[in-house]
Structures are given as structure tokens and as C-alpha cells.
Amino acid sequence: MLNTKTIEIIKSTVPVLEKHGKDITTHFYQMMFQNHPELLNIFNHANQRQGRQQTALANAVYAAAAHIDNLEAIIPVVKQIGQKHRALGILPEHYPIVGENLLKAIKDVLGDAATDDIINAWAEAYGVIADAFIGIEKEMYREAKEQPGGWEGFRKFIVDRKVKESDVITSFYLKPEDGNAIASYQAGQYLTVKVKPETDEYTHIRHYSLSDAPGKDYYRISVKREDHGVVSTYLHQEVSEGDVVLVSAPAGDFVLEAKTAPAVLISGGVGLTPMVSMLHTLLEQQPDREVLFVHGALNSQVHALKNEVARIVATHANVKNFVAYSNPTDTDRAAMNFDKEGFIELDWLQKIVATNQADFYFCGPVPFMKMMYRSLIEWGVPAGNIHFEFFGPASALTE
């Protein structure tokens, strides 16, 4: 337990570190990757380039430090980050590396202002925060391994089928190479894939939402080929049926709540993948619940899984499907295969959903997520009815 003086120092220096947050963490990452280049096998290089992870880690450490005398209060956040850490394979031995380099970065950036008292206090506080993460993640590793069909770390999966869903999205059906059972999951959770392109020095890890309902003998992920996306390009272009990819056990806390209010599943682009999984699952678990599936895409050429959703809508009176195309093709116009031209906007949502007491789930690209979040808040949707999956630091949503 930290003594009162240490707690006082931490709390009084949090704002100082926040002010220098970006400088400290940029310097921290540069040093850490220089001293431990092997960590470049774990960290997302694109996030590094965009400075996203820098801010996320810094903010999380300061937020934790601000609650250093009551870490219980931030356990839900630690659990959310822990899910990602567990899926990525972050281990207890990684924590001292981060701690050592972070402290050195604080010292370098603050210069004389970083007295021994301050540095020692932060060393102690980091130790307490790291222990909280390590403890929670240890439990997650145990659960991932001990659940039926579960496993530890990364397991080899064979690409059983590769199915083109649109011009830019392809589904991969993955079966374990060992032929044994696979862990179940909850709709909305993601799978974490590790690959090493032959021409690349490093392994690369990415999370992809599971797009089918649980309970099958395979996992399905539906991956969008991103411009300059190392892993998505590799999966689309280099990986064929019969090839092996490494996968860690399903993770994530974006899951359905068994409420009775209508469920509104809103997605932009490839963000529809967890929504399709949720749609299948809702029909299995709550077959009479009213479900609205609202999807926004550029046009039908990049609208993935549309036949799968259309089949469900055609056979279930309680499911309604709404499509917004921001740039419909001439064929789309002739076929009138969409409900709105433009983006998913609040006034349209208000018309099709009718009540702000519905239960809202959404996933999509960053600008879409920001817009949805603001719109639902503006509409007065209760916070407990707003659920989202955000790939990348969730803090970017409210910035």
C-alpha cells in the first residue's frame, strides 16, 4: 500500500504529466522500441505512426494514477484494456519494461523538475497499477485456457473457406489445425489474428469481430482490405484456403444484453460484422424481440453480407432492415435497393426507430462512431442503452 506522502505526490503531479503527456509517451515509445525491438512484434505500427496508442497508454496511466488510492473504481476500464492485452499476449514480464522506460521518459522530459521524490513515487505507483493489470489479466488467461475448447496464447487455425462478400470484404472460415473443439464466444466479441508476411521483419496482430453466431465448429471473421493495411492485405492477397494463421481465444466486452426493448444494430461499412453475429444470436436467444438492422455503406458493391441479412429479414417478421447508401450506383438507383441516400443521421434514425428507449449497439469507422455517439446522446438515449465496439483507443470517441 502506498503511504500518504506518495499518494499526495502522485495526485499533485498527474496534471503536470498530463500536460507533457504526448512528449513523455512519444519519447517513451522511441526508447522502448530501441531497447526492446522485439516489442515491435506486438504493437500496431499504424497506431504508432498516428500517435493513437501513445495518447491511449498515457491517458490510462494518468487516469489510474489519479485513482491510486481507490483503484477499485477503475476496474471496469482495467478489464476492458485487459481483454485486449490478453488477446495480444501481453505478459507480466512486459510490465517492468514499460515501467522502466516510462519513468526514464518522465525524467528526461521533466528535467530538474523531476525530483527523486517524484520519480520514486511514480515508480511505486506504476508498480501498484501494473500489479492490478497483471492480476486481472492472469485471471483472463486462466479463463481463456480452462473454458471448454479454450487455449493459451496463439493456436494454429486452418483457413477452411475464403468467401468474397463484397468488392472489399472477404470472410475467412477458420478451423483449428489440431481438430479439437473450439471455445464458444458471445456475439460482438472479436478474434485476434497474428501473421508474419514473408517480406516483413515483424509479426503483426489485429483484432477482427466474429461475424457468425457462436456454437459452430468454425470461427468466421469478415475482413475489409484496408489501403496500406498490413494484415488485411496479407489475408486478402497471400492467404489461401488450407493456409494456417495464428489465433488467440475470443475476447471483448461488446456483447448483447438480454433486455426486452427493441434492439437497434447500427453499423457503418465493415462495422457490420459484429452486428450480423448479434442478429443471428438475437434470433436464437430472443426469437420474438424486435430488431432493427441499420446499415450504412457507400453502395451495394461494398455492402457485405447483404444476402445473409436479407434472408433473415425475409423469414422473420420481427426483424427490419434499413440501408443508407452515401454514394449509390446507377444500378442501385434503378433497383431502389436502399432506403436513404446519405449517411445515417439522427433525424432518419428517429423516424425509423421511433423510441429513444430502444437498446442501441453500433460499430464502424471513427467519424461514424463519433457521429452515432453524439446523436444518441443528443436524442436522450439513456447511457445504459448505448453499447459500442471501438477498434482503437475508445478515448478517441469522446475527444
The set of catalytic residues is 95, 137
Q: Which of 328, 330, 367, 318 lies closest to 345 in space, CA to CA?
A: 367
Q: Which of 129, 210, 231, 270 binds ligand HEM (CB under 6 A)?
A: 129
- Spatial neighbors of 16 by CB under 8 A, at least 6 apart, are 110, 113
CB closer to ligand HEM out of 328 and 393: 393
Q: What whole-number distance in Å separates Cα of residue 347 and Cα of residue 371?
A: 12
Tally of CA atoms within 13 A in the half-sphere of 9 that contains its CB: 18
Q: What whole-number distance in Å separates Cα of residue 88 and Cα of residue 93?
A: 14
* DSSP bridge partners of 284: none
Minimum distance of ligand HEM from residue 38's CB (angstroms): 10
Minimum distance of ligand HEM from residue 44's CB (angstroms): 3
Minimum distance of ligand HEM from residue 43's CB (angstroms): 4
Taken as a whole, the chain contains a residue count of 399
Residue 193 · residue 206 · CB < 8 Å: yes
Is 394 among the residues that bind ligand HEM (CB under 6 A)?
A: yes
**In 10 A of CB 203, how many CB atoms?**
16
Minimum distance of ligand HEM from residue 255's CB (angstroms): 16
Is 105 among the residues that bind ligand HEM (CB under 6 A)?
A: no
Q: How far is CA 136 from CA 30, 133, 285, in A?
A: 28, 5, 30
Q: Which stretch binds ligand HEM (CB under 6 A): 93-101, 112-120, 266-274, 371-379?
A: 93-101
Could you give the 3-state DSSP secondary structure of residue 112? helix
Q: What whole-number distance in Å separates Cα of residue 128 and Cα of residue 145?
A: 26
CB closer to ligand HEM out of 40 and 313: 40
Q: Which of 14, 98, 182, 324 binds ligand HEM (CB under 6 A)?
A: 98
The owner of cell 487516469 is 63
CB closer to ligand HEM out of 127 and 150: 127
The owner of cell 482503437 is 392
Q: Which of 122, 133, 190, 360 binds ligand HEM (CB under 6 A)?
A: 133
CB closer to ligand HEM out of 101 and 171: 101
Q: What whole-number distance in Å separates Cα of residue 323 and Cα of residue 293?
A: 8
Residue 223 · residue 235 · CB < 8 Å: yes
- Applying the rule CB under 6 A, the residues between 33 and 92 that interact with ligand HEM are 39, 42-44, 47, 53, 56-57, 60-61, 64, 81, 84-85, 88, 90
Minimum distance of ligand HEM from residue 267's CB (angstroms): 19
CB closer to ligand HEM out of 194 and 280: 194
CB closer to ligand HEM out of 21 and 393: 393
CB closer to ligand HEM out of 11 and 84: 84
How far is C-alpha 164 from the chain's CA centre? 23
Is 130 among the residues that bind ligand HEM (CB under 6 A)?
A: yes
**Helical (H) or strand (E) element with 171:** strand 169-176
Is 302 among the residues that bind ligand HEM (CB under 6 A)?
A: no
CB closer to ligand HEM out of 95 and 388: 95
**In 10 A of CB 22, how many CB atoms?**
14
**In 10 A of CB 342, how many CB atoms?**
13
CA-atom Rg of the chain in angstroms: 23
Minimum distance of ligand HEM from residue 147's CB (angstroms): 23
Q: How many residues bind ligand HEM (CB under 6 A)?
A: 26
Minimum distance of ligand HEM from residue 47's CB (angstroms): 4
Minimum distance of ligand HEM from residue 39's CB (angstroms): 5
Which DSSP state fits 210? B
Is 95 among the residues that bind ligand HEM (CB under 6 A)?
A: yes
**Helical (H) or strand (E) element with 75:** helix 75-88
Q: How far is CA 242 from CA 82, 161, 162, 165, 196, in A?
A: 32, 8, 10, 19, 16
Q: In the complex, which residues of this chain contact ligand HEM (CB under 6 A)?
A: 39, 42-44, 47, 53, 56-57, 60-61, 64, 81, 84-85, 88, 90, 94-95, 97-98, 129-130, 133, 392-394
